[in-house]
Structure 1
Amino acid sequence: MWLAVGAAVLTTALTAVSFWLSFEALHDLATDHRLQGERAWAWPATVDAFIAIGEVLILRASLMHRVDWWAIVLTAAGSLGSIALNVAGVGVSDDPLDYVVAAVPPVAALLAFGVLMRQVHEFLSARQSFLTAPPVPSGASVTPPVEREEPEVLEEPQEAMQAPADEPVMTPDEESVSEPEEPGEPLTQRDQMDLIVRGLYDSLGQQRPGTRHMRQALADADLPHSDGTCREARKRVETAEPHLRNLPEAIAA
């Protein structure tokens, strides 16, 4: 952690010093060619700023996993232009080291800013990987699965499944749901809903109807068909006939 922070601080300092030396040399060149004051200090930005802009765009393209050729061209143009102008500012010299000294600041500015952008890229990539990583379940592989004892009610649906398809098994509880106590008395809205929901178990081939099935059937009968109403009707039917709870779930079409 501290090594990464120290490297980032030193890289930032090197970038700042390199750009300052390059700016200073270009400022002197601008002063020698009729620019004074603020204009002489602003002119180097028209050259060295392309290095910073290009490398920031390269960083952006790298994070997006693509290549930005315009960013590469801007960086190359700014770097080559800064090096050439820094060397040209030396003029005619018999000492080759004069040209080396003039070329070092723009080259260092290019490399130092590139290293800085690389560190920023690694930091952002690590942060993005951390934020998008799926949560790790804690203790999921340590706790052995608990075997549940199946209730004795499971014996009833087996007998019902063995019965012929055209002769549904009727229980006393089912008769109380499917038929009113008095044949001459009209069914209440609740009884009508229970009858429609109970009929879905048979029409779906001995499967538990889902909310979508019940809602559609009740809507076709002009009865209340909200999700809560459908679930309450199914609960009443399965309370009267507990074996219906163990039937497989019907898949909504």
Structure 2
Amino acid sequence: MSNAELTLPPHGLAGQTPVRTRWDAQLCLTVSAAVLTTGLTAVSFWLSFEALHDLATDHRLRGERAWAWPATIDTFIAIGELLILRASLLRRVDPWAIVLTAAGSIGSIVLNIASVGVSKDVLDYVVAAVPPVAALLAFGVLMRQVHEFLASRQQVRTAPSLPSAVPVTPQEKPEVPETSEAPVEEPAATEEPEPVRAEDERREPLTQRDRIDLVIRGLYDSLGQQRPGTRHMTDALRKAELPSSDGTAREARKRVEAAEPHLKTLPSALAA
């Protein structure tokens, strides 16, 4: 078996249709989670606004001012979360973003509870505290999903391409200068083997470990920029007639991801 055949597994290892089906299912679940999280965030902020509006109305604010006053509290949560998202994409820590988020969250929770007034039923305070807490958690989850999406797009754009096979240059024959003199008959000589080039001497054959690593690295591309599972790796190694135990596959994946750390952040492929 040639080295070119072992460099990358064929793209139809598990069939193109199952891979695309898994990718479509994962995309559908991600979109559904984002839609539900957005709806939960909107409902939580609306309930919090409603409670703060009633509190403002009870303390001499009327009409548009009573509705604008809750924004001075809950908007800090949105600003702080957006700044935290920006800092995480830049791989930094923004203390001001954390302070804004904490101030808006604590203030919203305290004021929502204060809007209940004096009550003997503890559940009245629990009901008042749920909307601001849910708004904080839901908005944080939404920002996490946005962060993962932007990070995955950035990793795909910056991922280095892997050559599918070692390029082979054709053997060039030396040009024979044309002369006007009659050819001189020379005695027949036995055919000698072609000289070995220096670069061919330096190129060592791939070891079994290198061939295993190349097969595992090729799975990231054939699975559509997804992280292969143990089942994918063992099947690919078995088809390449290489050692295909679970331990061998996992160790090869560790070596590949150590050489290219961005591969660890790719979404995991679902086993067929």
- TM-score bracket, shorter-length normalisation: 0.5 to 0.7
1:76 maps onto 2:102 in alignment: yes
- 1:119 paired residue number: 145
Q: Distance in 1 between matches of 2:130 and 2:172?
A: 79
1:151 maps onto 2:177 in alignment: no
Q: Distance in 1 between matches of 2:64 and 2:158?
A: 48
- 1:184 paired residue number: none
Q: Summarize deviations over 1:72-127 as a string: whole Å, max 9, x none.
A: 00000000000000000101000000000000000000000000000000000011
Amino acid at match of 1:140: A
State the percentage of identical aligned residues. 78
- 2:210 paired residue number: none
Amino acid at match of 1:7: A
Amino acid at match of 2:165: A
1:18 corresponds, among 19, 44, 48, to 44
Q: Distance in 2 between matches of 1:75 and 1:152?
A: 76
Q: Distance in 2 between matches of 1:100 and 1:67?
A: 33
Displacement of 1:136 in angstroms is 3.6
1:131 maps onto 2:157 in alignment: yes
Amino acid at match of 2:140: G
Amino acid at match of 1:55: E
Show the 5 A alignment for 1:169-188.
none
Q: Summarize deviations over 1:31-80 as a string: whole Å, max 9, x none.
A: 00000000000000000000000000000000000000000000000000
1:92 maps onto 2:106 in alignment: no
Show the 5 A alignment for 1:92-241.
92-137=118-163, 139-141=164-166, 145-151=168-174
Q: Distance in 2 between matches of 1:35 and 1:136?
A: 65
Displacement of 1:134 in angstroms is 2.3
Q: Summarize deviations over 1:178-226 as a string: whole Å, max 9, x none.
A: xxxxxxxxxxxxxxxxxxxxxxxxxxxxxxxxxxxxxxxxxxxxxxxxx
- 1:49 paired residue number: 75
1:8 maps onto 2:31 in alignment: no
Q: Distance in 1 between matches of 2:40 and 2:162?
A: 41
Q: Distance in 2 between matches of 1:122 and 1:140?
A: 32
Amino acid at match of 1:148: Q
Amino acid at match of 2:76: F
* Bigger-Rg structure (1/2): 1
Please, which runs of 5 or more residues in structure 2 have no aligned partner?
1-26, 177-272
2:90 corresponds, among 48, 64, 74, to 64
- 1:241 paired residue number: none
Q: CA RMSD in A?
A: 1.6
Q: Distance in 1 between matches of 2:54 and 2:162?
A: 60
SS at match of 2:141: helix
Please, which runs of 5 or more residues in structure 1 have no aligned partner?
154-253
Displacement of 1:152 in angstroms is 5.9
Number of equivalences: 151
Q: Distance in 2 between matches of 1:115 and 1:101?
A: 21
The alignment's TM-score, normalised by the length of structure 1, stands at 0.57
Displacement of 1:133 in angstroms is 1.7
Greater RCO structure (CA 8 Å; 6+ sep):
2
Q: Distance in 1 between matches of 2:59 and 2:165?
A: 74
Show the 5 A alignment for 1:33-44.
33-44=59-70
